[in-house]
């Protein structure tokens, strides 16, 4: 009994201290979100402490920050029908690495299907040099190894392409010697490669590359490029070289032949080498592009849409205005209808908003217009929990229960409804995030974070504020705890 009496005496002080700590923490987080105003206030007190304005900044998406929306068409003609999905996944991963190296924050790279076409959607937010980014994406090398055709097959292809126009060009004159320039001209004119055929070994099997400077008798030779293949690529390369000993194995870069060495023996171990007339600077640049990722399939840019920063700023301003109007409307309703508990709910709501914005900055979350809409929606859902609690509180007070018991019972009876409604909303958010596009994912993510924070706000923050009034003269002013147009909550 003695222990219980001590707990009853000390608990209100603990709750009030906790409520004060939450209030102070909320003010501190709010000051962190408004560094310009905070620094002005701090400057009047001490000039030595200032909040950096760029500390954990918000990240905005393409529709707010401005940027470029690119659509690429992927050429899957050389990919087996069943491997198209894997090739597109590999292509997406490579493009993401290329864009990250360019320094674009939170790039969005997605796969899209339009009829029989496979497309790649690339969104680059907040970049200053769009043309350079497009160039880097488009110039990512497409590496491919091809085996030499038989002379009969080559003659047949050349004959079908040329007809009876000339007899001077045949497999021996075009493919017999290493005349890569003439071969490239033929391919460009007729769209077919008469000398070499695909082996299935492409840039997706590339693990890494480096510049190799060989030397002979102290004389430096032209640089070559040493390639290291993946386990799958090493196995395939060994099979190809074993089957083509004594024949040429051509190396194609972006559809153009750059070398055609003769295979002397089976090559195992996953090592390959590209030789050619490389300068040290050219070889180094090519190696950098290979290491960033060689494209598994060729791509071509078919659409480009640029969103200016002014249009994005207008979208952001409208979103913020909608959020402020929504918050003030909700706050006004809560205060007018629920009176003192409504005021406490608004304080808890301000803490909730500061907390969610802090999470957005720390993770960080890329905010789009849809994401901001999800956050604004979560504000209304946060108030829903308070409405349930206050209605339960009013019922208990009407039955004549003491304030502390009424508040405790109100939270207990409202919890099951709050829990079930929020869990169902979180399930929907998970489904939207899993199956939705980038815009839908942003909406689902911000809404889910808001729902989780709203549960914390309703159960802990509002509860702490409300229980801090227990044992004070305020709890005896019944009209402050009624709602609507009623004057007294008790019968």
Under CATH, what is the fold of the domain 67-149+195-305? Gyrase A; domain 2 (3.30.1360)
**pLDDT score for 330:** 86
- Tell me how far apart the alpha carbons of residues 275 and 214 are, in angstroms, rounded to a whole number: 11
Is residue 300 classed exposed, middle or buried when 0-12, 13-18 and 19+ CB atoms within 10 A define those classes?
exposed
**pLDDT score for 11:** 63
Which string of b and e fits 21-37 if b means at least 16 CB within 10 Å? ebbeebeebbbbeebee
- Tell me how far apart the alpha carbons of residues 105 and 60 are, in angstroms, rounded to a whole number: 9
**pLDDT score for 105:** 54
Contacts (Cβ under 8 Å, ≥6 apart) of 365: 59, 359, 371, 442, 445, 446, 449
The closest of 295, 489, 256 to 393, measured between CA atoms, is: 489
Separation in Å, CA 285 to CA 141, 145, 156, 188, 209: 11, 20, 39, 25, 11
- 117: region left, alpha or beta (phi > 0 left; psi from -120 to 50 alpha): beta
- Tell me how far apart the alpha carbons of residues 348 and 344 are, in angstroms, rounded to a whole number: 6
Domain locations along the chain: 11-33+308-481, 67-149+195-305
CATH homologous superfamily of 11-33+308-481 equals Multidrug efflux transporter AcrB transmembrane domain (1.20.1640.10)
- Tell me how far apart the alpha carbons of residues 53 and 36 are, in angstroms, rounded to a whole number: 7
- Tell me how far apart the alpha carbons of residues 46 and 438 are, in angstroms, rounded to a whole number: 45
Measured in whole angstroms, how far is the alpha carbon of residue 15 from the centre of its chain?
A: 41
Residue with tokens 């869990």, as numbered in its chain: 423
241, two tokens: 């070289």
**pLDDT score for 51:** 62
- Tell me how far apart the alpha carbons of residues 85 and 240 are, in angstroms, rounded to a whole number: 25
**pLDDT score for 490:** 47
**What's the mean pLDDT when you consider all of the chain?**
77
* β-bridge pairing 59-60 and 366-367: parallel
Measured in whole angstroms, how far is the alpha carbon of residue 325 from the centre of its chain?
A: 30
Give the pTM. Answer: 0.59
Contacts (Cβ under 8 Å, ≥6 apart) of 193: 146, 183, 187
Give the bridge partners for 259, in sequence order: 251
In a structure prediction context, what are the per-residue pLDDT tens digits for the chain, which is 491 residues long?
Answer: 443 443 344 466 777 788 788 888 888 887 777 776 566 665 655 565 666 666 777 777 777 777 788 888 888 887 777 778 878 887 887 787 667 655 555 567 888 877 778 888 888 876 656 777 777 676 656 778 899 888 888 888 888 887 755 556 777 777 766 566 777 777 777 778 888 898 888 877 878 778 887 654 444 467 878 888 888 889 998 999 899 888 888 888 767 777 777 888 888 888 877 776 777 877 776 676 666 556 777 888 888 877 776 666 787 788 888 888 888 988 898 888 888 888 888 888 888 888 888 888 888 787 888 888 888 888 888 888 888 888 888 888 888 888 888 888 888 888 888 888 889 999 999 998 888 766 788 888 889 998 888 888 777 888 888 888 877 787 777 777 776 655 555 44
- Tell me how far apart the alpha carbons of residues 126 and 348 are, in angstroms, rounded to a whole number: 35
**pLDDT score for 311:** 66
């Amino acid at each position: 009994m003695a222990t219980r009496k001590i707990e009853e005496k000390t608990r209100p002080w603990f709750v009030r201290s906790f409520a004060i700590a939450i209030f102070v923490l909320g003010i501190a987080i709010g000051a962190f979100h408004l560094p310009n105003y905070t620094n002005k206030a701090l400057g009047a007190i001490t000039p030595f402490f200032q909040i950096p304005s760029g500390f954990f900044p918000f990240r905005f998406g393409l529709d707010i920050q401005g940027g470029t929306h690119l659509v690429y068409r992927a050429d899957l003609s050389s990919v087996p029908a069943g491997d198209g999905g894997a090739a597109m996944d590999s292509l997406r991963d490579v493009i993401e690495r290329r864009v990250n190296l360019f320094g674009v924050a939170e790039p969005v790279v997605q796969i899209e299907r339009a009829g029989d076409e496979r497309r790649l959607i690339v969104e680059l937010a907040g970049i200053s040099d769009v043309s350079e980014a497009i160039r880097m994406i488009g110039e990512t090398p497409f590496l491919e190894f091809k085996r030499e055709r038989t002379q009969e097959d080559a003659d047949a292809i050349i004959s079908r392409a040329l007809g009876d126009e000339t007899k001077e060009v045949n497999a021996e004159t075009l493919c017999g010697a290493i005349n890569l320039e003439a071969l490239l001209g033929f391919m460009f004119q007729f769209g077919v490669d008469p000398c070499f055929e695909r082996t299935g070994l492409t840039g997706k099997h590339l693990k890494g590359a480096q510049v190799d400077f060989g030397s002979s008798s102290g004389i430096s030779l032209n640089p070559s490029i040493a390639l290291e293949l993946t386990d799958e690529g090493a196995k395939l390369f060994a099979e190809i070289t074993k089957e083509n000993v004594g024949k040429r194995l051509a190396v194609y870069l972006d559809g153009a032949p750059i070398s055609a060495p003769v295979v002397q023996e089976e090559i195992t171990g996953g090592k390959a080498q590209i030789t050619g007339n490389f300068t040290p600077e050219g070889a180094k640049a090519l190696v950098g592009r290979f290491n960033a990722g060689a494209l598994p399939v060729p791509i071509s840019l078919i659409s480009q849409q640029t969103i200016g920063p002014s249009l994005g700023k207008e979208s952001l301003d409208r979103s913020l205005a909608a959020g402020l109007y929504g918050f003030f409307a909700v706050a006004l309703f809560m205060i007018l209808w629920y009176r003192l508990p409504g005021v406490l709910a608004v304080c808890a709501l301000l803490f909730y908003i500061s907390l969610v914005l802090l999470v957005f900055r720390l993770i960080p979350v890329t905010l789009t217009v849809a994401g901001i809409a999800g956050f604004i929606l979560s504000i209304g859902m946060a108030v829903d929990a308070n409405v349930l609690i206050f209605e339960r509180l009013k019922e208990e007070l009407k039955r004549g229960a003491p304030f502390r018991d009424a508040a405790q019972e109100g939270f207990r009876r409202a919890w099951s409804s709050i829990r079930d409604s929020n869990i169902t909303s979180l399930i929907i958010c998970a489904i939207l995030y899993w199956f939705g596009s980038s815009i839908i994912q942003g909406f689902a993510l911000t809404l889910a974070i808001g729902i989780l924070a709203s549960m914390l706000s309703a159960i802990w923050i509002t509860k702490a504020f409300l229980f801090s009034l227990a044992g004070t003269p305020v709890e005896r002013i019944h009209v402050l705890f009624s709602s609507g147009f009623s004057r007294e909550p008790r019968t």
